[in-house]
Chain A
Amino acid sequence: MHIVVLTKPVPDPAAAAERMGPDHRLDRAASPAVINGNDEYALEAALKLMESMGGEVTLLTMAPAGATDVMRKALAMGATRGVLVSDPVLAGSCARSTMQVIAAALRDLTFDLVFAGADTSDGRGGVVPAGIAALLRLPYLSNAAKIEPDAATGRVRVRRITPTGYDVLEAPMPALVCCTQVLGEPRYPSLRGIMGARSKEIATRSLADLGLDATSVGGSVASTVVLETRRAPARGATRMVRGSADEGAREIVDLLESRRLI
């Protein structure tokens, strides 16, 4: 099973140090970068399939050149190799550009499955994977809680979470699957994994390498633009109540009444 996992370096949500630049773009130097949390679930699912069925796991990342550091951690978890698409032109790319660039990079790779995380903690749009699938005419299976590829039939079966339960989806491979946390907790890299990751290959691809015209994608032709960024209005002061359970309950009822919530 050859699986490509789409991974994105994001500002570490736990650091909560995000800062916006004057151009309304995220100041990526202000925060420590980590692999997007939802991408780790996708990677874990891919690694388990590689271990049980054989094959390879390739990371595909579109990010500034420094992203190789973050990619090493994913390689330490067990991915076989990485491909980093990096080009100064891509700074400020919109979701549509991102789809086009990643789709172009996937055209150069051989795979049975592409895994993506449900969304990224910086953008939270969750729209890019469906766009990539449509551009490449790949079957698209989202909200996956279980992924069962069958090498013999060349088909993949996915349990897709729905508002009322789940659907069982099936499609021929190659296909693109959008993963959820339900697939299982990501592993920690072992010491051996960390040592081994140092010598694993990370191939860097520019737009020219992908055969893309620098005037067709990237920040200068972004389909969306941020006009204004402001700090969210601060929440009001917190009222702390220490006392008996009845006093606490009464305070809650009073607040809900005053705000017409009951």
Chain B
Amino acid sequence: MGALWVIGEPNADGSLARISAEVATLARSVAAASGLSAAGIVVAADPAGPAGELAAYLPRVLAVTDPDAAGNAWAVVAAERAAAIIGEDPHALVILGAGQDGRDVAGSLSALTSLGILVNATAVDWLDGRPTVEMSAFGGKFVTTSTFTGGGGIVTVQPNTVVAEAATKPGSVETAAPGAEPTLPHVAVLDNVVEAGAAAPIEEARIIVSGGRGVGGPAGFAMVQELATELGGAVGASRAAVDSGWIPYAQQIGQTGKIVKPELYVALGISGAIQHKVGMQTARTIVAVNRDPDAPIAEFADLVVVGDLFEVVPALLLALRARAG
């Protein structure tokens, strides 16, 4: 019987990434179904903060202090320390987020251990003595259920797969030895640039208001932002809007951008071409405002308001504010 590990991802400010709280919540349900004992691994120059936060969700968290985790690209440092803890156990099940850091750790960890990888999980269950991992393929066209042939493996999990929920009783934080000298080259971080107005990670948002070509320019995006703020959501965009320089690439949803699965997706002036659709069609509720009733988005949105978004959105803002009183 193997172990169940959660790799905790620290934010730049020393807090725990939201995705790690979700992954840990998911790991608890897998542990309950399988009888495996779930534990977290946090690698940081100062792991106390994120490890403490992760222990709210898991019975046990191993904190590895590695000064190299600061000042170097984090993922490779963390993967090597985690590999030392996980060891050669072919039944180990390792769960982590599907964001850039999670992907980087997963790939490195697979190379360092003998474990395979299943990616972008939308559910992880336990059936007939093995983990089963559900994922969405080809932009939500198919849903597949997969498992590992060797028993254990690494799973990257999509944000918003579960709602993070603390355990009834917080777990313990233990200091873990860092293990052997690292063999992978570390990559130095010379500078850390914070850009003004950088938004929260779009993949984690529960509500996304997105703008496309129809938004017309930066001024139009101010209106998109206003609606997002009113709904308590984040701003997304189609590639056309990003290519036009109206909004940063980090906010792009679709084939060469992010895959999102929010509760609500509001598409403003977005036609819904396949390249965009593959990034958002698994959203729970999709609302579109578009001039063109024949736009592809009408084929998969729940509600399409046919009209000028510069009239509909201000009316919507008024209605929402009137309702809020």
Residues on B with C-beta less than 8 A from A99 are 107, 110-111
Least CB separation from A11: chain B residue: B138
B interface residues with partner A (beta carbon < 8 Å)? 11-12, 73, 75-76, 79, 100, 103-108, 110-112, 114-120, 132, 136-150, 153, 156, 183-195, 198, 200-201, 207, 231, 239, 242-243, 249-250, 252, 255-257, 259, 263-264, 274-275, 278, 281-282, 284-287, 289, 293, 298-308, 311-312, 314-316, 318-320, 323
With known contacts A137-B183, A245-B315, A165–B195 Cβ distance under 8 A: yes
Contact between chains at B108 and A130 (CB < 8 Å): yes
Residues on B with C-beta less than 8 A from A96 are 110, 115-117
The segment out of A44-52, A58-66, A187-195, A248-256 that lies at the interface is: A248-256
Assess whether A143 is interfacial by the CB under 8 Å rule. yes
Contact between chains at A238 and B305 (CB < 8 Å): no
Residues on A with C-beta less than 8 A from B282 are 232
Residues on B with C-beta less than 8 A from A214 are none
Least CB separation from B193: chain A residue: A165
The segment out of A83-91, A107-115, A221-229 that lies at the interface is: A221-229
Q: Dominant SS at the B interface?
A: mixed
Contact between chains at A238 and B107 (CB < 8 Å): no
Give Cα A170–Cα B201 distance, bound, in whole angstroms: 25
With known contacts A228-B144, A242-B307, A134–B187 Cβ distance under 8 A: no
- With beta carbons under 8 angstroms apart, the residue of B104, B146, B250, B299 that contacts A225 is B146
Contact between chains at B190 and A168 (CB < 8 Å): yes
Contact between chains at B117 and A224 (CB < 8 Å): yes
Assess whether A133 is interfacial by the CB under 8 Å rule. yes
B-contact 0/1 string along A239-261, CB 8 Å cutoff = 11111011011111101100101
Contact between chains at A13 and B275 (CB < 8 Å): yes
Contact between chains at A127 and B306 (CB < 8 Å): no
Least CB separation from A221: chain B residue: B149
- With beta carbons under 8 angstroms apart, the residue of A135, A167, A223 that contacts B150 is A223
Assess whether A169 is interfacial by the CB under 8 Å rule. yes
Assess whether A197 is interfacial by the CB under 8 Å rule. no
Contact between chains at B193 and A239 (CB < 8 Å): no
Contact between chains at A224 and B275 (CB < 8 Å): no
Residues on B with C-beta less than 8 A from A16 are 138, 141, 274
